[in-house]
Amino acid sequence: MRTTSVRVDVAELVGLRTHHPEAVAEAAARRAGRPLIDDTGRLMVDTAVGLL
C-alpha cells in the first residue's frame, strides 16, 4: 500500500474557503475519477475517503 504525505497551510485553506468557497467544488470537479470495478470484475472501494 502506498501512502502520501501532504502538508497543508491551514491559514491559507481557511482564507481560500472564506473568500472563494466555490474553489473546493471546482478542484473536486477537476479530479480524475477511478473506475469502481477493476479488470477482474472486483469492486474497488477506497476505505480512506473522509479520513482527512
Number of domains the chain contains? 1
Of the two residues 23 and 52, the one the predictor is more confident about is 23
Domain containing 35 equals 1-52
Residue 39 CA: distances (Å) to CA of 10, 31, 44, 52 = 39, 22, 10, 29
Statement: the pTM of the whole predicted model exceeds 0.75: no
Q: Which three cell numbers stand for residue 32?
A: 480524475
pLDDT given for residue 3 in this prediction: 65
Burial of 11 (C-beta count, 10 Å sphere; 0-12/13-18/19+):
exposed
Most confident range (mean pLDDT) of 3-7, 15-19, 40-44 is 15-19
Q: Is the pLDDT of residue 9 over 80?
A: yes
Q: Which residue, among 13, 29, 30, has the nearest Cα to 21 in the 3D structure? A: 13
